[in-house]
Chains A and B, each alone.
Chain A
């Protein structure tokens, strides 16, 4: 019983984290057909800038709870700056090239940003534990949980709702959905693709940075954190269906619960299980659980 609760709660927390990290990735893929490896660096950038600014914040006498606002603000700022440089500076030059070639270009950007992070923040780890400790712990069904972790579930829900609202209830969102659904028709309809791409990439990048910023208080922020995250995020979006927004939710839940179950029941398979599920889904439904299969006309 206790294990079940632990698996469910841990799984949910982990899934929320994955959701926040992966939703930007799928949004960018859906609209732009770019599988953005550099999303891992955006995560790292978000984590570093948040850890750094929180360190400064807590040296001042400002109210500790303000650190949450600072954290989110830093993610937005760094995400916007990075997206401008990446999308307008580099990716724009490659639109129309092969999907795979653009993936490789984002891989190159990823490598550059990996070192950029080291240049700016050095190689020693940063700790921004204060916001994490601030919220304290709570006992649920006899088990202790950090409230910060549980709050992550709420944050993921809010982000999910915002994205849903943005896509379904705003004019721009509807345009985005149209582009995700059928790019050629939308282009023919005269949608300003340049602006749309820039905007989408910015939103995706901010979400990636936000994922990092929200994680920063819970981990030691050190070089290489982006490497592991991006491949996990790939697994999540592939399971849900590349470019599918509801797919990310399901993908994150599946990966989150699977991993939590593995950690509690059979730690040896922790990493293995995620990619096994990914392979299984690809094998049975290559377009992912929520993706649409491509049709070819002759």
Chain B
């Protein structure tokens, strides 16, 4: 169970922690956002291994964001761990219900039905005035099991929490993908008929994968809400979902580490692009994506593992 990948992830955690604590506040914040969104992309990886791409991950992400925000503002909950539990519960419960429907679909229909559901949530949120409509609302400052960090220490605490959770989640998903149930995804992608005639319900397996992806997105959403201190409907809009798919394609599905790596690269790239040319950063992103699609069908991770294999020769 404790294999090379787990050690590798642990090493990555140490590097990220080291880098995050010496980095400037804005860079640390960037890292938190990248890791939080990386979890959503990891959820997409689980689906993509089964051959499914969703254009509506913003739905689960947004549910996590809003669950965290609303729990604070309406229930007075500020404990980060409780918020995480609530965020996971919210996104996973909705995924459980919608999963009965979604798990029947494949390919473009799966992608579009996911998108439709996320747009429904968007449509509700922009018209709900108690939730601030299009402006959203501010999220309360979190506490951590009774510890209420000073304003100066808050950033570090959120960062530590995010990094450790990312590590734990990555290891769990790594184990899941190595299990028979995780590998069924691969089987479904390759030949669903064969899967059914092995006595396995592909729908049920996809349903479970959807809930896992939703749970991961929920975690990402809660952490984003805590880190940013604000939520708004944009988080559920189709462009947000598109961005997740973008990062997933950029990263590739080769490893559970790929989404986090891709997400960090994406956030850094976007920050610099936005800094230096606010009107052409999307153009740059689009160009990068086209190049990846054309020249690196397996994502950046495939390039990495290819060059590593090349060195071994």
Contacts and interface: CB of A to CB of B under 8 A. Distances in A.
A231 B289 contact: no
A272 B193 contact: no
B126 interface: yes
A296 B123 CA distance: 36
Interface in B88-125: 101, 104-105, 107-109, 111-113, 115-117, 119-120, 122-124
Given A269-B127, A274-B123, A107 B108 contact: no
A121 B280 CA distance: 13
B249 interface: yes
A105 B108 contact: no
B281 A286 contact: no
B294 A94 contact: yes
Contacts of A105: 289-290, 293
Interface in A262-294: 267-276, 278-279, 282-283, 286
B285 interface: yes
Contacts of B101: 283
Contact of A234 (B112, B117, B280): B112
Given A108-B286, A112-B283, A275 B123 contact: yes
Contacts, number: 123
Interface stretch (B69-77, B79-87, B200-208, B238-246): B238-246
In this complex, the member of A37, A94, A282 whose beta carbon has the largest number of chain B beta carbons within 10 angstroms is A282
B116 A269 contact: no
B127 A111 contact: no
B4 to A, nearest CB: 30
B294 A271 contact: no
Contacts of A298: 193
B305 interface: no
Contacts of A101: 249, 293, 297
A274 B290 CA distance: 31
A116 interface: yes
Nearest to B113: A282
B238 A279 contact: no
Contacts of B113: 279, 282-283, 286
Contact of B116 (A123, A268, A275): A275
B170 interface: no
B107 A111 contact: no
Contacts of A104: 245-246, 249, 289, 293
Contacts of B281: 115
B26 interface: no
Interface in B245-265: 245-246, 249
B279 A123 contact: yes
Nearest to A268: B127
B116 A235 contact: yes
A103 interface: yes
Nearest to B277: A115
B116 A271 contact: no
Nearest to B104: A286
Interface residues of A, number: 47
A227 B116 contact: no
A100 B193 contact: no
Contacts of B120: 272, 275-276, 279
A17 interface: no
A260 interface: no
In this complex, the member of A93, A109, A269, A272 whose beta carbon has the largest number of chain B beta carbons within 10 angstroms is A272
A272 B124 contact: yes
B194 to A, nearest CB: 10
Nearest to B122: A271
Contacts of A182: none
Contacts of A227: 239
Nearest to A276: B120
Contacts of B123: 269-275
Interface string A199-232: 0000000000000000000000000000100010
Contacts of A118: 279-280
A100 B108 contact: yes
Nearest to B279: A118
A278 B238 CA distance: 15
A115 B282 contact: yes
A20 interface: no
A108 B119 contact: no
Nearest to A279: B116
B269 interface: no
A60 B293 CA distance: 47
Contacts of B109: 282, 286
A103 B108 contact: yes
A268 B123 CA distance: 9
A110 B179 CA distance: 39
A100 B111 contact: yes
B53 interface: yes
In this complex, the member of B53, B112, B115, B117 whose beta carbon has the largest number of chain A beta carbons within 10 angstroms is B112
Given A115-B283, A271-B127, A275-B120, 16 more contacts: A35-B108, A97-B297, A101-B293, A101-B297, A112-B290, A114-B282, A115-B280, A234-B112, A238-B116, A242-B108, A269-B127, A272-B120, A275-B123, A282-B105, A286-B105, A286-B113
12 contacts: A101-B293, A107-B289, A108-B287, A111-B285, A112-B287, A115-B279, A118-B279, A119-B283, A231-B238, A235-B119, A282-B113, A296-B193
Which 7 pairs of residues, A with B, have the shortest CB-CB distance? A271-B123, A111-B286, A272-B123, A112-B286, A115-B283, A108-B289, A275-B119
Interface of A: 35, 37, 90, 93-94, 97, 99-101, 103-105, 107-112, 114-116, 118-119, 123, 227, 231, 234-235, 238, 242, 267-276, 278-279, 282-283, 286, 296, 298
